[in-house]
A and B are shown apart, each in its own frame.
Chain A
Amino acid sequence: MNLLAKYFPNAVTIKSDFLQATGETLYMTAITAIVAGIIGMAIGIGLIVTQPGGILENRVVYNILDKLVNLCRSIPFVILLAVIAPLTRIIVGTAIGTTAAIVPLVIGSAPFYARQIQNALAEVDHGVVEAAESVGSGPIAIIFRVYLKEGLPDIIRSSVLTLISLIDLTAMAGAIGGGGLGNLAINVGYSRFETDVTVMAMLIILVIVFAIQLIGDLLARRVDHTA
């Protein structure tokens, strides 16, 4: 504890702030992960099944989804935060605060996740899909029992990647009023020249990231039977 006080003199005095900020970061990450996860997964699956040669080939739907994903992905996140503030106000009632940050976070990360899912599912051997069709499987069965099942190791890996980039985004959202560790690092650590607070915030984020990576790798290895 003395060592902590020696190297993080300012950080130890605001321990409760750190606890709260960590909680906020985890809250934003978790809620966004669930909402963006569902939306991204749906769009990713939509892209795979409607793509040329897909099991529900549909050029119009595919092009709409594809363009939508590209469009959302090309807006820098800081600008997105500002641009969709009115929309956030409609949905959550306010454009400031942790819950309000979730709206831009979802819009910022869902398209990214959709692309990741699309790539993961594209790795599923088309021959296996064809084999499933040949035994009489319909589109729903093929999505859930072939694509999602066969693509699971890759889905887990891309989910980890998305989660980590999501934590990156929460730090940015926090800086403009969303709270969390990013907010603490910038508005307390950076603005008041209390570098140790910034470093501490960074370390906590690193721990979260490493934990996610570790769990993800373990899970992926468990479900992967390709070798």
Chain B
Amino acid sequence: MTNEAIIQLKDIDVTFHNKGQTVEAVKKVSLTVERGDIYGVVGYSGAGKSTLVRVINRLQRPTAGSVEVSGQDILALNPRELRTARTKIGMIFQHFNLMASRTIADNVGYPLKGRLARDERKKKVAHLLDLVGLSEKAEDYPAQLSGGQKQRVAIARALANDPEILISDEATSALDPKTTSSILELLKRLNKELDLTVVLITHEMEAVKEICNKVAVMEAGEIIERGDLVTIFSRPEKPLTQDFINTATQINQALEKIFRQAATLNLSESQQLVQLQYVGASTDAPLITELYKRYGVVSNILYGNVEILQDTPLGNLIVVMSGEPDKLAAAWQYCQDAGINITHLNPNDSEVA
């Protein structure tokens, strides 16, 4: 992976005027995507993430700011140059946007008409359909396909011009979890095999977690936090980011259940409910055993989860630690020294840590 910036958005503003109302959809946002990245942009609907990425291929002209793609100033292009530039930026959509009147093969071949001779076009379409695993559906119409298959066709169409970038605008949001996974896997494979840079917009952190190497969190038209995936997941700074992550790792649900049972847990003075979070190598140490051997602290695991992000394990444990107060303090120190993020959970505090 090189560090060459392929997309550079600088100080992007997008303002809509509608019936006397002014909506600032995107405010002063800068974003740099490097070649080979799978860059996730996550946020709730209305956060402005769709508007932001549509600026990349100028489906949306920004009110202010600059857009550079592969070293080309996208905002300075005339219509003809823009069309050529767009062939290098593929895009897929939430509702697939296939043409109902064309067969699958014709949908995929649509961008190639006039660019390739008939025979070459046919060959290319066959190759693209093979790439997304839909060769046998070539002569079907979109209405005969499932949602996941339609999105595969849309991906094949988006790749027809051999783009360097693929923008995925909520492409998995209309799909069930299993289909979502298979589409994400396909995107990841294309990223590796074709050296395709992917910009993935979604409101689901699960999707980001599965394939992205970088992520930006958007709220109210601004990027509030950004970084590489592991850093964001292990040390989120903003509550919204934390919220997205907790939903993705299902810690929220676990905590909710634990807190509901907190009364029945009946914690005594010598017991503490804590969350342990660790990244990478620290997952390898037999922590619970160490705590017992060194300090006689017993840890009762209530919930455990390990995510593998970009080949880096990220663990989450919710445990009740029992032991002498001074031993507990020592154990606490030990965890911190081992690079483990340890937080005390208060069941009476509904706020999730």
List chain A positions with a Cβ less than 8 A from chain B: 125, 127-128, 130-138, 141, 145-146, 149-150, 152-153, 223-227
Which residue of A has the minimal Cβ distance to B115?
A136
Complex contacts, B89 vs chain A, CB 8 Å: 134
In the complex, B76 has a CB within 8 A of chain A? no
Verify A127–B93 contact, CB threshold 8 A: yes
Interchain CA distance A130-B157 in the complex, whole Å:
13
**Min distance, Cβ B174 to any Cβ of chain A, angstroms:** 12
Chain B CB count within 10 A is highest, among A132, A134, A136, A152, for: A134
Whether A136 touches B87, Cβ cut-off 8 Å, given contacts A127-B95, A130-B59, A225-B143, is yes
Interchain CA distance A149-B98 in the complex, whole Å:
12
Complex contacts, A137 vs chain B, CB 8 Å: 83, 111
In the complex, B90 has a CB within 8 A of chain A? yes
Complex contacts, A131 vs chain B, CB 8 Å: 91, 93, 97-98, 154, 157
Which residue of B has the minimal Cβ distance to A134?
B91
List the 5 shortest-distance A-B pairs measured between CB atoms, nearest first: A135-B111, A131-B97, A127-B97, A134-B91, A225-B141
Beyond the given A134-B91, A134-B158, A149-B102, could you list 10 further A-B residue pairs with CB under 8 A, ordered by the A residue number? A131-B93, A131-B157, A135-B91, A135-B158, A136-B86, A136-B87, A141-B114, A146-B99, A223-B101, A226-B143
Interchain CA distance A223-B83 in the complex, whole Å:
30
**Min distance, Cβ B329 to any Cβ of chain A, angstroms:** 59
**Min distance, Cβ A141 to any Cβ of chain B, angstroms:** 8
In the complex, B267 has a CB within 8 A of chain A? no
Complex contacts, B84 vs chain A, CB 8 Å: 136
Verify B161–A130 contact, CB threshold 8 A: no
* CB pairs A–B below 8 angstroms (16 shown): A128-B97, A128-B98, A128-B99, A130-B97, A131-B98, A131-B154, A134-B86, A135-B110, A135-B157, A135-B160, A136-B87, A136-B161, A141-B114, A149-B102, A223-B101, A225-B143
Which residue of B has the minimal Cβ distance to A149?
B101
Complex contacts, B102 vs chain A, CB 8 Å: 149
In the complex, B79 has a CB within 8 A of chain A? yes
In the complex, B57 has a CB within 8 A of chain A? yes
Partner of B90, one of A125, A134, A223, A224: A134
Complex contacts, B101 vs chain A, CB 8 Å: 149-150, 152-153, 223-225
Whether A145 touches B110, Cβ cut-off 8 Å, given contacts A134-B89, A138-B79, A138-B83, is yes
Complex contacts, A136 vs chain B, CB 8 Å: 83-84, 86-87, 111, 161
Chain A CB count within 10 A is highest, among B90, B101, B114, B157, for: B101
A-B Cβ contacts below 8 A, count = 70
Please report whether the interface of chain A is mostly helix, strand, loop or mixed according to DSSP.
helix
Partner of A134, one of B57, B114, B141: B57
In the complex, B301 has a CB within 8 A of chain A? no
Chain A CB count within 10 A is highest, among B86, B90, B99, B113, for: B99
Complex contacts, A127 vs chain B, CB 8 Å: 93, 95, 97
Complex contacts, A152 vs chain B, CB 8 Å: 101
In the complex, B281 has a CB within 8 A of chain A? no
Within 8 A of A (CB), among B123-152: 141-143
In the complex, B100 has a CB within 8 A of chain A? yes
Interchain CA distance A224-B142 in the complex, whole Å:
12
Q: Give the contact-size bracket for chain B.
A: 20 to 34
Complex contacts, B93 vs chain A, CB 8 Å: 127, 130-131
Complex contacts, B154 vs chain A, CB 8 Å: 131
**Min distance, Cβ B224 to any Cβ of chain A, angstroms:** 28
Verify B97–A133 contact, CB threshold 8 A: no
Complex contacts, A133 vs chain B, CB 8 Å: 59, 86
Interchain CA distance A47-B80 in the complex, whole Å:
23
Verify B161–A135 contact, CB threshold 8 A: yes
The 0/1 profile, CB within 8 Å of A marked 1, for residues 104-120 of chain B is: 00000011011000000
Verify B110–A132 contact, CB threshold 8 A: yes
Which residue of A has the minimal Cβ distance to B113?
A145
Interchain CA distance A135-B114 in the complex, whole Å:
13
Complex contacts, A153 vs chain B, CB 8 Å: 101
Interchain CA distance A138-B79 in the complex, whole Å:
8
Interchain CA distance A136-B91 in the complex, whole Å:
11
Interchain CA distance A138-B57 in the complex, whole Å:
14
Chain B CB count within 10 A is highest, among A135, A150, A153, A224, for: A135
Complex contacts, A138 vs chain B, CB 8 Å: 79-80, 83
Verify B97–A150 contact, CB threshold 8 A: no
Which residue of A has the minimal Cβ distance to B93?
A127
**Min distance, Cβ A147 to any Cβ of chain B, angstroms:** 11
Interchain CA distance A157-B74 in the complex, whole Å:
41
Partner of B59, one of A125, A128, A134, A149: A134
Which residue of A has the minimal Cβ distance to B107?
A131
**Min distance, Cβ B132 to any Cβ of chain A, angstroms:** 16
Interchain CA distance A130-B86 in the complex, whole Å:
12
Complex contacts, B95 vs chain A, CB 8 Å: 125, 127
Interchain CA distance A136-B59 in the complex, whole Å:
11
Partner of A227, one of B57, B80, B143: B143
Interchain CA distance A136-B84 in the complex, whole Å:
6
Interchain CA distance A136-B141 in the complex, whole Å:
23
Which residue of B has the minimal Cβ distance to A128?
B97
**Min distance, Cβ B254 to any Cβ of chain A, angstroms:** 38
Interchain CA distance A128-B92 in the complex, whole Å:
11
